[in-house]
Amino acid sequence: MKRLLALLATAATGLGLTAVASPQAAAATGCRVDYTVTSQWQGGFQAGVKVTNLGDPVSGWTLNIAMPDAGQKLVQGWNATWSQSGSAVSAAGLDWNRTLATGASADLGFVGSFTGPNPTPTSFTLNGVTCTGSVTDPPTDPPTDPPATGTPVGINGQLKVCGVNLCNQYNRPIQLRGMSTHGIQWFSKCYNNASLDALATDWKSDLFRVAMYVQEQGYETDPAGFTSRVNSLVDMAEARGMYAVIDFHTLTPGDPNYNLDRAKTFFRAVATRNADKKNVIYEIANEPNGVSWTAIKDYAEQVIPVIRAADPDAVIIVGTRGWSSLGVSDGSNESEIVNNPVNATNIMYAFHFYAASHKDNYRATLSRAASQLPLFVSEFGTVSATGGGAVDRASSIAWLDLLDQLKISYANWTYSDANEGSAAFKPGTCDGTDYSGSGVLTESGALIKSRISTADNFPTG
C-alpha cells in the first residue's frame, strides 16, 4: 500500500501552529505538528503526523495541508477523515479524537503518491488559520527516564493494575507488545526453543500468549496433557524474560459458564504451579459470544477466587461480550461494564479487534472505555474477523497508533505458519528453524514485527 502527501522533511519536524476553534469553542492559542516520513519508494511514501494542542481545549479540528501542485495525491489515510481537492489536502478529527485538551495529541498517518521530486508542502493551517508558530521554539517535553536494559520481566517484575493502567514494579504505567500462538493443539511444532529465541531476541517481544483451546480438539480431550504443555510454554517464556498470557481459549460454545468446572480445574492447577512466577497473566475466557455481560461477570466472579487462592498477585484478564469487543459486536458498548464491573481487584478487561472488519466505531469505543476501564488487547489481527483475507494496512496502523497512544498492551494473532492472512509466517516455516528472516514473514508478520521490535523504554523511576 501507499500513503498520503508529500515529504515535509527527512525526519520529524516540529512546527508551531496557531489555531482558532469553531464559533462554539474557545480558541486554541497554539499547537505543534511533528511530521515524519516513515518510508518512501518510487512515486510514493508513507508519513505520520502528530498534532499536539498547546493552547485551550479544542472541540473539532481540521488540519489543511497545501501542496505545491496537484501532482501530489492522497492515496489513503487513518485516524482522521482525509480528503483532497486539487493541491489542498485536509484531515478532520473523528468522534474519538476530535476533542484535544491542552497538551493532548492526535496521531494521524497517510500514504501519498507524487510525480517528479517529492516536494515540501507550502503551508499548514489548523481550523482555517495559517500555522505561523516558530519551528525553533518547540514546547518543552516532560522529562523521560533513560532507557532501561534487561528483559521485559527483568525490568518490570510483578505487574499490577493501577487505575486504568497496567503498571510495573515501580508503579509506572507500561505497555506490553507481543504475539499469540495459534491453537497449540494444531501448531505445536511452531513453539520450540528456536521460535521462542527468535521471538524474544529478534522480534523483541514482551509477551507470549498461549492460546489453549478448550473445545476443538483442545483441553477437554486431554486435560493433564494440555495443562502440562501450557506450563512448559510458560517456563520457556520465563527463561527468555517474556510475560506469558495463559489463555483459556473458549470460543464455541460462547457462554463461558459451559466450561465453568473445567476452568476451575485448569486454573487451580496452573495457578498453584506458577504462583511464584512474576511473568504469568491469566486470561480466563477468550471470546464470550451469544451471552449476556451478567453471565460473563458471574463466571468471572467464580473463577477469579480459584486463581486468587493460589496466586493472589497476578493480573487477570476478563473477556467481554460480543467476542471480547466490549459489547460493540452485539450492538452494545462499554457502559454495561462500567455500570456493573466484576467484583474483583487487579483485573483488566479484554478487547479484541480485526483491523479489516473493525474500524472507527470500535476505535471510538476503545478510546472512551480506556479512560474508565483497564483494558488489554489480548488478541487482534491485521485482517478480517475470520483470520483470513488481505492485510488492511491503514486500519492496522491506525489501531497500533491508538494502542501506543493509550498505552494499551496487545498480542497479535498469530505467531504461526497457518495458511491464513493473519499468520506471521509463510506456510511451512515451522518445518524449519528460521523465524527471523524477512523471507519467512508474511505481510502481516513483517508489519507486526516492525512495530513490536522497536524499543520499549520501560519507566523505572
Q: Write the pLDDT tens digit of every residue in 317-332.
A: 999 999 999 999 999 9
Q: Are residues 233 and 107 in the same domain?
A: no
- Flag whether pLDDT at 26 surpasses 50: no
Q: Please give the model's pTM, rounded to 2 decimal places.
A: 0.75
HSE of 448 in the Cβ direction (CA atoms, 13 Å)?
Answer: 31
Residue 287 a catalytic site member: yes
pLDDT at 30: 65
- Flag whether pLDDT at 59 surpasses 50: yes
Look at residue 110 and tell me if it is in a domain.
yes
pLDDT at 129: 64
The C-alpha atoms of residue 445 and residue 461 are separated, in whole angstroms, by 33
Q: Are residues 394 and 252 in the same domain?
A: yes
Sheet holding 88-92, edge to edge: 81-85, 88-92, 62-66, 123-126, 129-130
Mean pLDDT, to the nearest integer, of 389-408? 94
pLDDT at 326: 98
- Flag whether pLDDT at 94 surpasses 90: no
Strands 31-41 and 13-17: antiparallel
Provide the β-strand partners of residue 267: none
pLDDT at 117: 62
- Flag whether pLDDT at 441 surpasses 70: yes
Mean pLDDT, to the nearest integer, of 370-399? 95
DSSP secondary structure of 376-422: EEEEEESS-TTS-S---HHHHHHHHHHHHHHT--EEEE-SS--SSTT
Helix locations, 163-205, DSSP H:
193-197
Look at residue 373 and tell me if it is in a domain.
yes
Q: Of 5, 1, 2, whose CA–CA distance to 71 is shortest?
A: 5
Q: Report residue 373 as a C-alpha cell.
A: 476501564
Q: Are residues 95 and 188 in the same domain?
A: no
Q: Are residues 123 and 168 in the same domain?
A: no
Under the banding of pLDDT at 50, 70 and 90, the label for residue 25 is very low
pLDDT at 401: 92
- Flag whether pLDDT at 356 surpasses 70: yes
User: Are 318 and 280 spatial neighbours (Cβ–Cβ below 8 Å)?
Assistant: no
Q: Between 259 and 86, name the one with better pLDDT.
A: 259
Q: Are residues 35 and 88 in the same domain?
A: yes
The C-alpha atoms of residue 34 and residue 366 are separated, in whole angstroms, by 25
Strands 160-162 and 73-78: unpaired
The C-alpha atoms of residue 55 and residue 78 are separated, in whole angstroms, by 24
pLDDT at 132: 58
Q: Are residues 377 and 266 in the same domain?
A: yes
Under the banding of pLDDT at 50, 70 and 90, the label for residue 14 is very low
- Domain range for residue 252? 152-452
Angle at 365 between CA 360 and CA 366, to 5 degrees: 95
The C-alpha atoms of residue 342 and residue 365 are separated, in whole angstroms, by 19
> Which of 3-7, 64-68, 143-147, 171-175 has the weakest average pLDDT?
3-7
Q: Between 115 and 391, name the one with better pLDDT.
A: 391
Mean pLDDT, to the nearest integer, of 220-239? 98
| CB count in 10 Å sphere of residue 370 | 21
Mean pLDDT, to the nearest integer, of 206-217? 98
Catalytic: which of 238, 283, 287, 334? 287
- Flag whether pLDDT at 142 surpasses 90: no
Look at residue 348 and tell me if it is in a domain.
yes
Amino acid at 184: I
Q: What is the mean pLDDT of the chain?
A: 85
Q: Report residue 203 as a C-alpha cell.
A: 522480534
pLDDT at 20: 31
Helical (H) or strand (E) element with 261: helix 260-274
The C-alpha atoms of residue 414 and residue 296 are separated, in whole angstroms, by 25
Under the banding of pLDDT at 50, 70 and 90, the label for residue 168 is very high
Angle at 434 between CA 157 and CA 389, to 5 degrees: 90
Convert the pLDDT of each residue in 360-379 to its tens digit. 999 999 999 998 999 999 99
CATH number at residue 374: 3.20.20.80
pLDDT at 24: 31
- Flag whether pLDDT at 263 surpasses 50: yes
Q: Between 21 and 424, name the one with better pLDDT.
A: 424
- Flag whether pLDDT at 131 surpasses 80: no
Look at residue 426 and tell me if it is in a domain.
yes
> Which of 11-15, 30-34, 452-456 has the weakest average pLDDT?
11-15
Provide the β-strand partners of residue 31: 17, 53
- Flag whether pLDDT at 8 surpasses 90: no
- Flag whether pLDDT at 461 surpasses 70: yes
Q: Between 108 and 454, name the one with better pLDDT.
A: 454
Q: Between 282 and 45, name the one with better pLDDT.
A: 282
Residue 238 a catalytic site member: no
Under the banding of pLDDT at 50, 70 and 90, the label for residue 80 is confident
pLDDT at 138: 39
Look at residue 353 and tell me if it is in a domain.
yes
Strands 165-167 and 160-162: antiparallel
- For the chain, the domain total comes to 2
Q: What percent of the chain has pLDDT over 70?
A: 83
Q: Are residues 247 and 318 in the same domain?
A: yes
Catalytic: which of 238, 334, 336, 379? 379
Cis preceding-peptide flag for 414 (omega within 30 of 0): yes
Under the banding of pLDDT at 50, 70 and 90, the label for residue 112 is confident
HSE of 84 in the Cβ direction (CA atoms, 13 Å)?
Answer: 20
Q: Tell which of 77, 99, 130 closes a domain.
A: 130
Q: Are residues 222 and 80 in the same domain?
A: no
pLDDT at 38: 59
Under the banding of pLDDT at 50, 70 and 90, the label for residue 147 is low
Q: Are residues 192 and 309 in the same domain?
A: yes
Max Cα separation, the chain? 67
Q: Of 211, 277, 266, 212, whose CA–CA distance to 239 is shortest?
A: 277
Mean pLDDT, to the nearest integer, of 274-299? 98
User: Are 325 and 286 spatial neighbours (Cβ–Cβ below 8 Å)?
Assistant: no
Look at residue 140 and tell me if it is in a domain.
no
Look at residue 22 and tell me if it is in a domain.
yes
- Flag whether pLDDT at 391 surpasses 70: yes
Q: Of 314, 318, 390, whose CA–CA distance to 354 is shortest?
A: 390
> Which of 109-118, 166-175, 267-276 has the weakest average pLDDT?
109-118
Distances (CA, A) of 205 to 24, 45, 168, 347: 46, 27, 16, 22
The C-alpha atoms of residue 132 and residue 225 are separated, in whole angstroms, by 66
The C-alpha atoms of residue 394 and residue 445 are separated, in whole angstroms, by 15
> Which of 85-99, 183-197, 414-428 has the weakest average pLDDT?
85-99
Q: Of 197, 162, 201, whose CA–CA distance to 459 is shortest?
A: 162
CATH number at residue 36: 2.60.40.290
Q: Are residues 99 and 180 in the same domain?
A: no
pLDDT at 141: 44
DSSP single-letter state for residue 63? E
Q: Are residues 166 and 118 in the same domain?
A: no
